[in-house]
Amino acid sequence: MATIRTRMGDGSDVELTPAELRQELEDGCQAAVKRGKVDPLTEDDFQYLLEMFTCPSRIWGVQRGNEAILSKDGSVNTLYSSRLSSGAGLPLSREQCIRTFETAFAFDSIEVGHTDYSVKPVKPICTLEQHHVETCLNSTILPLFYGFMPNLGLYFQPDGPFPNPSDLLPKGQIAEARAAQEDAIRTLLEDLKWMTGMMDTVGADGFNYDTVASTGDAEFLATLKAVEWASEHTTMGVEVGMAAEMVLGFHGELEYDGVRLAGLWPHQQMKLVEKAGAAIFGPVVNTNTGKTSPWNIARSVTFVKACTRDAKIAIHPNVGMGVGGVPSYEVPPADVVTRASAAMIEVGGADGL
C-alpha cells in the first residue's frame, strides 16, 4: 500500500497510510471541537486536507485568486537577529531589512521593532525607535507598523518593581498575587498607551501588540484597554497577535466587558479584541510535537474557522514555528509550512497570516 510521507509536530518524518491520514485529520479536528466547543470541519474541508497531504509535491499553495495578506511580527529580526529570534544573523540594518522585505520578499506589510522586542526595554529608547519608523516611512510604500510584546512578565521582580505572582502563588498567597498583577497592569497600560501614541505622532500606519496574554489574563486585559485607547486616540490600525491558544488565568477573576478572560479560546478572544477596536486579530493554536502535522493542522484550522466565521475584522492566524500547525523546530520544513498556510486560508477562511 502506498504511504503518505508527512511530518510530526517536531518536524521529524512520518509515513501514514491513507486511512491513518484520514483518522489523524478527524482526530485533530475533534480535539479542537472538544476543547473549544466549536463546530467540526465539513466533509469538503476534509477532502481538501486529504488532497493536500496526499499530493507528493513539496510545496503547496492557495488557488490563484485566493491569495491573502501577510502581516509580520518580530519585525525584521528574521534577517539580522540571532537564533533567539530564529534569525539568520545577517549584517544588515533594520532599514535595509525593511526594504528587503518590501521588494525582494514582496511582503504586504512590515513592522519596525526592536531586537529586545518588549515594551519595557524600548520605552527608554523611544526616540531611536521613532527615528527608525520615520526614516522607513519616507522610503517605503507598504503599510508600516511598529510592534512589540506587552510582556507583563518583565514588570515583576527581579526584572521589574512588582512582586512576582510565580513566587506568590506556590505559597498560596493568591490575594497578594492578584494584587501584584492588578498593580502591574496599571503601569503596563500607561507604557502601552505612551509608546503607541509616540509611534502615531511620527506617522506609523499600524501597531502590533504581539504574544498577547503571554503572562495570562492580566496582560490580556491591559492590552485590550490599550487597543481601546489606540482606536480612540490614534489613526493607526491595531493588530493583536496572541501568545497561546488559551488565556491562562494567573489572576483568574479579571474581566473585560463582563467576560472573564481566563480560559478563553481563540474564537472567544476574537470577540473581545474586535470589541476593543482592533483592525486585525491573530489567533494562535499551539503545535503538539507528539502528534502528526495532519493532526495539528486539522486542529488549527478548526479553531481558526470558528474565528473567521463570526469575525467582522480581518483574522491573521499565527503560522510560524510551533503554531498554526507548523512544526516546533528552528527551521520549519517548507512542505508543512506551505500546507499549513494554504489550509488556513482555503479551509480556515483566514484573511491573512
Partner 1 sequence: MGGIRTTGDLVARMQLKGMRLKEAKEYVAGKLGVTPFDLSDSTQMRTLREELDIGVVTGVPGVAKGLAAKARIAELLGIEINCVEKLKAKMGL
Residues that bind partner 1 (CB under 8 A): 64-65, 67-71, 102-103, 105-109, 134, 137-144, 200, 202-206, 235-237, 279-280, 311-315, 351-352
Measured over the CA atoms of residue 304, residue 308, residue 311 and residue 317, the dihedral's sign is positive
> Residue 19 or 63: which CB sits closer to partner 1?
63
CA 334 to chain centre: 19
Q: How many CA atoms lie within 13 A of 41 on its CB side?
A: 32
Question: Are 226 and 193 contacting, i.e. CB atoms less than 8 angstroms apart?
Answer: yes
> Residue 107 or 156: which CB sits closer to partner 1?
107
Shortest distance, CB of residue 14 to partner 1, whole angstroms?
32
Distance from C-alpha of 35 to C-alpha of 19, rounded to nearest angstrom: 24
Shortest distance, CB of residue 43 to partner 1, whole angstroms?
24
> Residue 69 or 244: which CB sits closer to partner 1?
69
Shortest distance, CB of residue 184 to partner 1, whole angstroms?
30
> Residue 107 or 250: which CB sits closer to partner 1?
107
Q: If DSSP codes are grouped into helix, strand and coil, which group holds residue 8?
A: strand
Name the phi and psi angles at 342, rounded to 5: -65, -40
> Residue 71 or 269: which CB sits closer to partner 1?
71
Shortest distance, CB of residue 274 to partner 1, whole angstroms?
10
Shortest distance, CB of residue 228 to partner 1, whole angstroms?
15
Query: Could you tell me the three cell numbers for 22?
Result: 484520514
CA 22, 55, 299, 219: dihedral to nearest 10 degrees? 170
